[in-house]
Amino acid sequence: MAKQGLREPFLEFMRYGLVGGLAFLIDTGTLFVCKEFFFSQMGETGTYIATAIGFVIGLIFNYIFSIIFVFKNGKEKVRGKQTQSFLIFGAIGAIGLVLTELGMMAGITLVGDAHYLAIKVVVAALVLFWNYIARKVTIFKQ
């Protein structure tokens, strides 16, 4: 009985990890493509613009696939409230972005810039939990 009760939340979190990982790749890939091919002559300003575009594209992907694939009955939960749920989803994502930046700053301060990719992996894993719990409680609650 206990095994069955834990199975669905575990599978849901695994689906969330898969969708979040794909959103991370889409976000990062969009950032790279925009920066290298569209904003390469703009220096840091181009990086900031490309980062924002990647964030928005990744967020939209994550929202759609969270409804379709991650959270059971997600379509019914947000039906008629798409704008409201997307704004909450986006606000949670923006908090996650701030947490990521703060985590990166702390990690670089502690271990140095040479390890920024390892720091990013650790920070992304921690922020994944924030995003999942916050979205589960606010948007996709039972």
pLDDT for position 103? 83
> Apex CA 60: angle with CA 57 and CA 61, to 5°?
85
Enter the DSSP assignment of 79.
T
Please state which of the ranges 11-15, 18-22, 135-139 shows the lowest mean pLDDT: 135-139
Q: Which residue has the tokens 């696939």?
A: 65
pLDDT per position as a tens digit, 71-101: 765 555 555 567 777 788 888 888 988 887 7
Please state which of the ranges 90-94, 108-112, 116-120 shows the lowest mean pLDDT: 116-120
Domain residue ranges in the chain = 2-138
